[in-house]
Structure 1
Amino acid sequence: MGESDNPLPSSGISGLDDAREETELVAAELLGLIKIKGEQSPGGVRITECDNGEDPEKYFRTFHPVNFFPESPEQLAGVMERLRTELPAHGWKVVEYGPDSSRNKNLNLTADHDKRKFGVNIVHKAKDERPSISLYVVSGCYEVPEGEKVEGY
Structure 2
Amino acid sequence: MTDDKSDGVPSAGTSTSRDATDTMKKVSSGIYDLIGVKGKASENLPGVTGCSGKDTKTYFRIFHPWSFTPASASDLDEAMERLKRELPKHGWEIVEYGPNNSKNRSITLTADNDKKKVSVNVIKMAKSDPPMLSLDLVSGCYKVPDGEEVEHY
TM-score (norm 1): 0.92
Give the distance between the partners of 1:93 and 1:66, measured in 2 at CA. Answer: 20
Runs (5+) with no aligned partner, structure 1: none
Q: Which runs of 4+ in 1 moved over 4 A?
A: none
**Aligned partner of 1:35: which letter?**
G
Q: Which residue number corresponds to residue 18 of structure 2?
A: 17
Report the Cα offset of residue 6 of structure 1: 5.2
Q: Which residue number corresponds to residue 117 of structure 1?
A: 117
1:39-78 aligned within 5 A? 39-51=40-52, 53-78=53-78
1:1-153 aligned within 5 A? 7-51=8-52, 53-153=53-153
Give the distance between the partners of 2:89 and 2:137, measured in 1 at CA. Answer: 18
Corresponding residue pairs, total? 150
TM-score (norm 2): 0.92
Give the distance between the partners of 1:145 and 1:105, measured in 2 at CA. Answer: 43
**Aligned partner of 1:103: which letter?**
K
Give the distance between the partners of 2:40 and 2:79, measured in 1 at CA. Answer: 16
Report the Cα offset of residue 36 of structure 1: 1.1
**What are the Cα deviations for residues 15-48 of structure 1, in whole angstroms up to 9, with x where unaligned?**
1111000000000100110011111222201000
* Residues 38 and 82 of structure 1, relative CA distance in 2, 3 Å threshold: closer
Report the Cα offset of residue 84 of structure 1: 1.5
Q: Percent identity?
A: 47
Q: Which deviates further from its counterpart, 10-19 or 36-45?
A: 36-45
**Aligned partner of 2:140: which letter?**
G
CA RMSD in angstroms, aligned pairs only: 1.6
Report the Cα offset of residue 102 of structure 1: 0.7
